[in-house]
Chains A and B, each alone.
Chain A
């Protein structure tokens, strides 16, 4: 199977984060190809000539993925503001059109709502089922073309989370085969945000043990940590000692170097 992991670094500010993510990725996934695309690459991906790359803001995942899927069987977009903390082979398993990760958890959702009044959801989607587009695995050309079509529609700008809202519409209302990666014993990204102090290093794995709050069903292996927050993510990376237990923080630092 022909697989490509990729990320997008839109400016120099993102390069530190991007390099950290790639360093951590390679430690656990040495056999997988990972590419970084920049604004310079966008010309080759665009259907039309353009002078301002910002016309593709908030829809970069389908923008790049729809062209990449012509060459690869599976295309995985990772946000740069992540630390990969485990092997990702399992995300490729199965017959599906798209695999996605959760955007939230009870604690983070409540905090965000109290601070901003934003629901972090869309229409009647349960907030805990609303998905994040910081880690998307795409196997279907039809799916990504459909996603791109929605991202070019007139109503696109009416949606606060743009491509992510469009992704949720496709995942929750259309009959695509969807793999929800966090509905397993491995967690990827924002599903752990707010619970980072509970993460323990056990052997060479990061684990959140089952508890009364989150997760309630079983122990979870954390394979991705996602800072989120756009430009602010770089500053959060500096807070690594505060956000995690000492041993975990030291371990994360070795992963990103």
Chain B
């Protein structure tokens, strides 16, 4: 199975380093490609409103498993047990203290786009399609909101992780 990691590096007033994340991935997944999607690439692709879903979609063309991980996270261990299993995707409940919500989804169940494992081309295709819809500006957290709708209202099998599932594996 071809696996890769990627993160989004946003620039502007603050430059976010990604080297700590990269080093941690290299420590546990030495030969696994790690991609950094920069502001320049986001602008060039015209996907400013939905960089994660569009970059995931691009990568799923070449890789069976695509893992998006937030730039300031670090791997603390191998995460094979999270990757394994017959799922279209593995997603995580909101990790930040900021409460978010969409539709009638309980804020406690709201999912984050900070850490996602995508294992199905169909999942990434549907996520991108949803993000590109005309209604995208009506959704404050467009990409995350659509990820929630896709997960809770979609027809694919998705594993949902809690913060405690990441303990000892990912530094948030």
Residue A149, interface by CB 8 Å: yes
| Contact in complex: B126, A174 (CB < 8 Å) | yes
Contact with B along A131-148 (1 / 0, CB 8 A): 000000000001001100
Minimum Cβ distance to chain A for residue B157 (Å): 11
Given A123-B103, A142-B155, residue A173 in contact with residue B138 (CB < 8 A):
no
User: For residue A174, which residues in chain B have a CB less than 8 angstroms away from its CB?
Assistant: 126, 130, 153-154
| Contact in complex: A173, B149 (CB < 8 Å) | yes
Minimum Cβ distance to chain A for residue B9 (Å): 29
Contact among A124, A155, A169 for B138, CB-based, below 8 A:
A124
Contact with B along A144-166 (1 / 0, CB 8 A): 01100110010100100000000
Closest A residue by C-beta to B139? A124
| Contact in complex: B104, A158 (CB < 8 Å) | yes
User: For residue B97, which residues in chain A have a CB less than 8 angstroms away from its CB?
Assistant: none
Q: Which of B75-131 contact A (CB under 8 A)?
A: 103-104, 125-126, 129-130
Minimum Cβ distance to chain A for residue B111 (Å): 15
Interface size on B, residues (CB 8 A): 14
Main DSSP-derived SS at the B contact region: helix
Residue B1, interface by CB 8 Å: no
CA–CA, A153 and B109, complex, Å: 15
8 extra interface residue pairs, beta carbon distance < 8 Å, beyond A174-B154, A175-B126: A123-B103, A153-B153, A155-B104, A169-B153, A173-B149, A173-B153, A174-B130, A174-B153
Closest A residue by C-beta to B132? A175
| Contact in complex: A150, B138 (CB < 8 Å) | no
| Contact in complex: B153, A150 (CB < 8 Å) | yes
| Contact in complex: B155, A149 (CB < 8 Å) | yes
| Contact in complex: A124, B104 (CB < 8 Å) | no
User: For residue A146, which residues in chain B have a CB less than 8 angstroms away from its CB?
Assistant: 154-155
CA–CA, A55 and B129, complex, Å: 34
User: For residue B103, which residues in chain A have a CB less than 8 angstroms away from its CB?
Assistant: 123
Given A142-B155, A146-B155, A169-B153, residue A175 in contact with residue B104 (CB < 8 A):
no
User: For residue B125, which residues in chain A have a CB less than 8 angstroms away from its CB?
Assistant: 175
Residue B30, interface by CB 8 Å: no
Closest A residue by C-beta to B125? A175
25 contacts across the A-B interface (CB closer than 8 A): A123-B103, A124-B135, A124-B138, A142-B155, A145-B155, A146-B154, A146-B155, A149-B155, A150-B153, A153-B153, A155-B104, A155-B152, A158-B104, A169-B153, A173-B130, A173-B133, A173-B149, A174-B126, A174-B130, A174-B153, A174-B154, A175-B125, A175-B126, A175-B129, A175-B130
